[in-house]
């Protein structure tokens, strides 16, 4: 894509990656692996620092149970967003993810401080 030259700047010092995709598009499911590889594995970030959001457009019921995600994507935290039906649920899940990122940042900061002291 024409934005690939910007990716290193986007990734620099990032603590988390949220990948939002349309589960009804087979092309999106294919691209997911590329995004995960570039933005999570090559960083490297932990899988717990990545959140997948399957966004369902209004009026598309969508199968929220079995998305055909290949390994290692199927190990990531996945939420289904349908802002018409359940915006509150999405907000709660996102806050949970956000809190987990903050605790990862705090833990690594504490480890750094301890290594400086010792």
Chain Cα centroid distance, residue 43: 13
Inter-residue contact 36 to 72 (CB < 8 Å): yes
Question: Read out DSSP for 46-84?
Answer: -GGGEEEEEEPPTT-----S---PPTTGGGSEEEEE-TT
pLDDT 10s digits, 81-97: 887 777 888 899 999 99
The owner of tokens 């290949």 is 70
Q: Domain extents for the chain? A: 12-117
pLDDT 10s digits, 17-42: 999 999 988 888 889 999 999 999 98
């Amino acid at each position: 894509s024409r934005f690939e030259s910007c990716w290193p700047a986007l990734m620099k010092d990032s603590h988390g990656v949220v990948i939002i995709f349309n589960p009804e598009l087979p092309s999106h499911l294919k691209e997911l692996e590329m995004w995960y590889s570039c933005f999570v594995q090559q960083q490297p970030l932990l899988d717990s620092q990545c959140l997948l959001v399957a966004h369902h457009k209004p009026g598309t019921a969508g199968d929220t149970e079995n998305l055909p995600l290949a390994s290692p994507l199927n190990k990531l935290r996945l939420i289904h967003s349908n802002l018409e039906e359940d915006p509150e649920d999405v907000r709660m899940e996102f806050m949970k993810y956000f809190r987990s990122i903050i605790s990862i940042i705090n833990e690594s900061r504490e480890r750094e401080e301890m290594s400086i002291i010792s």
